[in-house]
Structure 1
Amino acid sequence: MENFSFGFWDYAIIGVYFVIIFAIGFYFARKERNTTEYFLAGRHVGWFAVGASLFASNISTEHFIGLSGSGYTSGIAVGNFEWSASVCLLFLGWVFVPFYLKSGVFTMPEFLERRFSASSRWYLSTVSIVAYILTKISVHLFAAGILLHLVMGWDLYTSSIFLVVATGLYTILGGMSAVIYTELIQTFILLTGAIVLTLIGLHRVGGWHELVSHVPDGYFSMFKPVSDPDFPWTGVIIAPFVVGIWYWCTDQSIVQRVLAAKNIDHAKTGTIMAGFLKILPVFILVLPGLIAYALQQKGLLLPGKTLHPNDVYPVLIKYLLPAGFRGLIVASLLAALLASLAACFNSTSTLMTIDVYKKWKPEASERQQVNFGRLATVVLVFISIAWVPLVNSLSDQLYVYLQSVQAYLSPPIACVFLLGLLWPKANARGASIVLWTGFVLGLLRFVLEVIHKTHPFTDPFIRTMVTMNFMHFAILLFAFSLVLMMIVSVLTPAPAQEKLNGLTFRYAGHVDLSESYKVESASRRKRNIIASCILVILLLILYALFF
């Protein structure tokens, strides 16, 4: 595909974007950031910034690249992960947030230690830090490399180094405040860019009716047959919620945003707002993939050529948009990438500071903790750059790759958090056994899957377990984790009640409410209930329309 030259207005828009982002970073860098408010923005973030930050930190370049690619090859079924996220965000706000904020924790591993044991904390800290580097950061950089290479001609190394250093700079300088308030701006930018491209593409294809008539049957259905290799209906009705509970309700890079909220009311309202925003990706990120397919069928986009799924979104940018608009779309993609990278950097440095450094050196002052957090971010920047050469080996359908890796890690963690809140008898022994057993089984599946691609297994049982759809595997692993934890907890001593105060539903009222961010108001709670009901009704209508 031939390259084109960006015009003056394209570069001007991108330049203005970076000026705004760095201005926010330097603004917060000038403020006093030598206390642990560096990690949670002083717990003074309002609901609108919380909701925008939740959305922006989740939506990265791999969503633009991966969702459009999956839409191009399979239709809108991949959107199940987006709409299930809306439900999981309600779970975050109504089920998890009150316990997280009332416990006053900084990290998810810290909460797990209070509920279970130090070994559970070390497990989650280690797995989270490693997973951020091996999956999240690598996927972000891979997607960015595809985009900037096809659209601007940059190679993977140049684009990755530039973006990692740029993100690391304002994250190090401004801490969580800089991250959240840049994500607030980035939300508007990425939504604007994605909506513009979708509308132009829909106009070019000839409208909704033309789009529907030029894509295969089933492309507008959320539920595929059981035989579908990527999104069988038996998987999408359960697995996205298993992965979603882990990601949206227990993952540090997400939950850290609600921990920074002014109070429980603002945290809940922020999660509900993010739930509404998560409806949009199906229409502004998946739909462009269907538009690209229809345009090809009509001979209006690279006639005679077959698009690689990862190339769909960059090709749409190159061939549909006039000068000026290209800069807007690239700015929106960069906004998505920088928001997600910043979330990874900030949450990983928080984990390394609170769960590693502070445990190793409990007498460390707040200034020392902040300095260590900044140093940890610098180290992450260099690790990310060093990781770039291995990034190019990822899956063809980027989003499917990401979800499959998460499916191997998430079920035991989701199980431990859920039973920890819902069942007082769940104990430390059960949590440790489930976490490590689940990790071994998930890792085994991943390793065997890699081996099977070059040296296929002949044993029927092993072959079935390796070739099973990743969503079916996630469901089985989650069910196995639930049963295992219940059996172990029943056969071993139950935790003492004083250890459960404020950490389970049964003992939810046994908590100190002297700090303002732990207090809930009746009027705000009523508004949140109404908004949550509207969100659920809207989701039911959408599922009915795209059944």
Structure 2
Amino acid sequence: MNIETLDIAVFVVYVIALIGIAGWVSREKAGHAKDTNDYFLAGSSLPWWAIGASLIAANISAEQIIGMSGSGYKLGLAIASYEWMAALTLIIVGKYFLPIFLKHKIYTMPQFLEQRYDHRVRKVMAIFWLGVYIFVNLTAVLWLGALAINTIAGIDIVWGMIFLGAFSLAYSLYGGLKAVAMTDIIQVVLLIIGGLFLSYTALNMISDGNGAIQGFVDLTNRLPEKFDMILSEDNPFYKDLPGISVLVGGMWIMNLSYWGFNQYIIQRTLAAKSIGEAQKGIVFAAFLKMLMPLIVVLPGIAAVIISPDLDRADEAYPSLMTLMPVGLKGLIFAALVAAIVSSLASMTNSVSTIFTMDIYKDKKPNESQQHYVLVGRLVSLIALIIAMAVAKPLLGNFDQAFQYIQEFTGFFTPGIVTLFVLGMFWKKTTATAGLLAALGSFVFSLLFSIFWPELPFIDRVGVVFLLCTGLAVVVSLAQGKGDHPQAVNVKDVQFGTSKVFNVSSLAVIALLIAFYTVWW
């Protein structure tokens, strides 16, 4: 497909504007040089609206837009459970996890693990997360983003990855988290407007010009099997989303790990002005998550009718973009790229934060603040280069990259959740027990995948979580050390939340009940 001159102009204006705004918000007062708090935590100054928007911008990327649309093309609306259950997970994180993290005044998740357990746990988990972020998350975003650009504009995938990486560095490398978070407001607005227009256009096409509402009615009538939220055992995709387990089983573990203990997500809340601002930001993000299936899943379902003969499911969203009118195509293209580069910037910033604060600073503790900031910038660059080099070998042959990401991370998330949850809420958990649970997660998951391959991976995640938790409890009790000297005293933590947070949380729960009741 050829991009028209007007589309190119719209996109170029977006690129220039974003880089300019990022430079403006990143400026420092005369005589002040960025320190680690400025660069990695935005000077602890983020307001709620920036936190909420940035949480979504970091989360919604190529793996979500392209990957979940692809899964919508194959599985249907059921894949939206990842979005809607995440909204409720965010409420739990804001209520019970965030107060503990902010009380400890941490930069990174590994730093919390050292404060709660010991240095071994911090180092092991820091290395683990660096590997996952570079070889799974960054590679997925780069590859799927470049695939979309290739489908829409015909640009070679390698050059597409280079452009995405260079663009994300151009607006984030100097300013750090503040540049990323503040410009994410623009990214999210663009993403929502572009995504809603694409959905509207697709539904209007299905209704032959009779409007999006009629198009949605026609879509549900023509493809009723695509609107089952809870899949039955005879569904060909039951193994991906195994029925009621989606609501009560392993998806909770996946979501708690992602939204509660994932550095490039939780880092925004650690940079808040106050805990109240962080919690308002989280509930704002929860409402945005409720909207996301309309933007990332519905187009994939619509593509079953509009483009029924696609070679790959992940081509569903890009194929719809080719049908957009001139000018608006450029806007939607900019929205897609906005989602991609904001996630890339978030991930590279978190990689640099973990490497600098958890590994490099431990080896060289007496360097200047500006030296650590420089190291962080270099690490961001190196991480992107590595991810570009390995993206095609790792992801080039997968039909549904989103499912690949979920299944791969599912090997490790049960142990991570055990490590953190027991660390926060059970004083007797020892460092050795927590470390064994984290490492045992991979072993248990591998054994299940070999000897019980037909077990749906979401169910496997739930079972492995129970095994990891049991292992940690047994080891802790066997060591007989009593309460850990660095255990969290929850009596000293303020878990109270504002009226706005409480009412908003009830609204999210009510919406979830309504959605699952209608499309059960």
Alignment-mate amino acid for residue 209 of structure 1: V
- Partner residue of 1:213? 221
Q: Is the 8 A contact 1:35 1:366 kept in 2?
A: yes
Q: Per-residue deviation at 1:28?
A: 4.1
- Partner residue of 2:16? 19
- Partner residue of 1:186? 187
- Partner residue of 1:40? 41
- Deviations along 1:242-295, one digit per CA (max 9) or x if unpaired, are 011111000100010000000000000111010111111212211111111133
Deviates more, 1:531-540 or 1:411-420: 531-540
1:225 alignment partner, one of 232, 235, 240 = 232
Mapped partners of 1:114, 1:383: distance in 2? 31
2:246 alignment partner, one of 236, 239, 259 = 236
- Could you say if the C-alpha distance between residues 476 and 183 of structure 1 is closer, same or farther in structure 2, counting changes exceeding 3 Å? same
Q: Quote the sequence identity (%).
A: 31
- Partner residue of 2:54? 53
2:279 alignment partner, one of 268, 277, 292 = 268
Q: Per-residue deviation at 1:202?
A: 0.8
Alignment-mate amino acid for residue 380 of structure 2: T
- Deviations along 1:12-59, one digit per CA (max 9) or x if unpaired, are 111111112111232244324521121000101000000000011000
- Partner residue of 2:212? none
Q: Per-residue deviation at 1:466?
A: 2.8
Mapped partners of 2:54, 2:90: distance in 1? 13
2:314 alignment partner, one of 302, 310, 313 = 310
Alignment-mate amino acid for residue 210 of structure 1: D
- Could you say if the C-alpha distance between residues 376 and 534 of structure 1 is closer, same or farther in structure 2, counting changes exceeding 3 Å? same
Mapped partners of 2:35, 2:244: distance in 1? 49
Deviates more, 1:150-159 or 1:395-404: 395-404
Q: Is the 8 A contact 1:429 1:492 kept in 2?
A: no
Mapped partners of 1:18, 1:351: distance in 2? 28
1:329 alignment partner, one of 329, 332, 340 = 332
Mapped partners of 1:355, 1:212: distance in 2? 50
- Partner residue of 1:112? 113
Alignment-mate amino acid for residue 505 of structure 1: V
Q: Per-residue deviation at 1:229?
A: 2.8
Q: Is the 8 A contact 1:404 1:470 kept in 2?
A: yes
- Deviations along 1:400-455, one digit per CA (max 9) or x if unpaired, are 1111112112110011111111211112121011111113334566xxx6xxxxxx
- Could you say if the C-alpha distance between residues 425 and 46 of structure 1 is closer, same or farther in structure 2, counting changes exceeding 3 Å? same
- Partner residue of 1:454? none
Mapped partners of 1:88, 1:368: distance in 2? 37
- Could you say if the C-alpha distance between residues 249 and 198 of structure 1 is closer, same or farther in structure 2, counting changes exceeding 3 Å? same
Mapped partners of 1:272, 1:440: distance in 2? 36
- Deviations along 1:222-254, one digit per CA (max 9) or x if unpaired, are 100134232111431222210111110001000
2:490 is the alignment partner of 1:505: yes
- Partner residue of 1:343? 346
Q: Is the 8 A contact 1:46 1:262 kept in 2?
A: yes
Q: Per-residue deviation at 1:507?
A: 4.8
Q: Per-residue deviation at 1:61?
A: 1.2
1:385 alignment partner, one of 383, 388, 399 = 388
- Could you say if the C-alpha distance between residues 491 and 506 of structure 1 is closer, same or farther in structure 2, counting changes exceeding 3 Å? farther
Q: Is the 8 A contact 1:160 1:388 kept in 2?
A: no
Q: Is the 8 A contact 2:101 2:112 kept in 1?
A: yes
Mapped partners of 1:113, 1:439: distance in 2? 21
Q: Is the 8 A contact 1:72 1:312 kept in 2?
A: yes
Alignment-mate amino acid for residue 437 of structure 1: G
Q: Per-residue deviation at 1:109?
A: 0.4
- Partner residue of 2:93? 92
Q: Is the 8 A contact 1:56 1:339 kept in 2?
A: yes
- Partner residue of 1:7? 4
Alignment-mate amino acid for residue 18 of structure 1: V
Aligned pairs for 1:34-183 within 5 A: 34-36=34-36, 37-183=38-184
Mapped partners of 1:142, 1:82: distance in 2? 22
* Matched positions, count: 505
Mapped partners of 2:397, 2:413: distance in 1? 20
Q: Secondary structure at the match of 2:290?
A: coil
Q: Is the 8 A contact 1:157 1:388 kept in 2?
A: no
Alignment-mate amino acid for residue 228 of structure 2: S
Mapped partners of 2:299, 2:407: distance in 1? 23
TM-score normalised according to structure 1 size = 0.89
2:268 alignment partner, one of 249, 252, 257 = 257
Deviates more, 1:249-258 or 1:23-32: 23-32
Gaps (5+ residues) in structure 1?
Answer: 296-300, 450-461, 510-519
Q: Is the 8 A contact 2:103 2:493 kept in 1?
A: no
Q: Is the 8 A contact 2:114 2:122 kept in 1?
A: yes
Mapped partners of 1:474, 1:284: distance in 2? 28
TM-score normalised according to structure 2 size = 0.93
Mapped partners of 2:289, 2:114: distance in 1? 31
Mapped partners of 1:497, 1:239: distance in 2? 29
- Partner residue of 1:514? none
Deviates more, 1:475-484 or 1:18-27: 18-27
1:361 alignment partner, one of 351, 359, 364 = 364
Q: Secondary structure at the match of 1:466?
A: coil
Alignment-mate amino acid for residue 218 of structure 1: E
- Could you say if the C-alpha distance between residues 477 and 323 of structure 1 is closer, same or farther in structure 2, counting changes exceeding 3 Å? same
- Could you say if the C-alpha distance between residues 9 and 33 of structure 1 is closer, same or farther in structure 2, counting changes exceeding 3 Å? farther
Q: Is the 8 A contact 2:142 2:388 kept in 1?
A: no
Mapped partners of 1:392, 1:347: distance in 2? 22
Q: Is the 8 A contact 1:142 1:391 kept in 2?
A: no
Alignment-mate amino acid for residue 232 of structure 1: P
Q: Is the 8 A contact 1:38 1:177 kept in 2?
A: yes
- Could you say if the C-alpha distance between residues 306 and 255 of structure 1 is closer, same or farther in structure 2, counting changes exceeding 3 Å? closer
Q: Per-residue deviation at 1:546?
A: 1.4
Mapped partners of 2:167, 2:482: distance in 1? 47
Q: Per-residue deviation at 1:76?
A: 0.5
2:432 is the alignment partner of 1:435: no
Q: Is the 8 A contact 1:151 1:318 kept in 2?
A: yes
- Could you say if the C-alpha distance between residues 136 and 497 of structure 1 is closer, same or farther in structure 2, counting changes exceeding 3 Å? closer
Mapped partners of 1:307, 1:436: distance in 2? 38
- Partner residue of 2:211? none
Deviates more, 1:425-434 or 1:349-358: 425-434
Alignment-mate amino acid for residue 199 of structure 2: T
Deviates more, 1:121-130 or 1:530-539: 530-539
